[in-house]
Amino acid sequence: MKKLILISITAIICLSFAGISVYSAENTNGVFVYEYKKELALTDKQEKNLRAIVEKFQSYIGDRQKKLKGLQAELSKMIIENVALSKIKAKINDIAKSQSEITYESIASNRAIETELAGTQLSKWRGIQAEFAKNYQQAIDTASQTKEVKK
């Protein structure tokens, strides 16, 4: 029973974090906003500034992911060791705080990117994002349907 609870909590935490990983500076295929230099008609200065924003965010995410993995490991251990629920709740709150900080930083980075883009560039970038989101959702739907057929 403990293992089932542990697996459930770990899955919830991982899924919560997974949703955060999709941010505007990069699509999940690893293509960054500055790689659309030609399509967005970015100046060299804009490209440099966008790279700096993305690199700062990536560094932040890398540090936070390490911290988050550590917190998740601690939580798992606490559950297995039957630690008091109040301590488990505090650990879950630490994990949630870390996730919310990542979400905030993602939003701040997105806004920094958007301020770097001029009118038509921003419109085109949002169009690229919308197209990616549409294709991403279609891929999720297809994968979900494939799983249902296998059942």
- Residue 118, H or E segment: none
> What tokens does 53 get?
């924003």
pLDDT single digits (tens) 4-51: 444 444 444 444 444 433 344 554 455 688 889 999 999 999 999 999
- How many residues make up the chain in this entry? 151
Write the DSSP assignment of 26-50 as a string of letters: B-TTS-BGGGGHHHHT--HHHHHHH
Distance CA 11, CA 72 (A): 10
Give pTM, 2 decimals. 0.68
Determine the pLDDT at residue 147: 67
What are the pLDDT digits (tens) for 133-149? 888 888 888 888 876 66
54 in Cβ contact with 34 (< 8 Å): yes
pLDDT of 29: 52
**99 vs 150, more confident:** 99
Nearby residues of 68 by Cβ (< 8 Å), 6 or more positions away: 17, 95, 98, 99, 102
Model pLDDT for residues 38-64, shown as the tens digit of each residue: 999 999 999 999 999 999 999 999 889
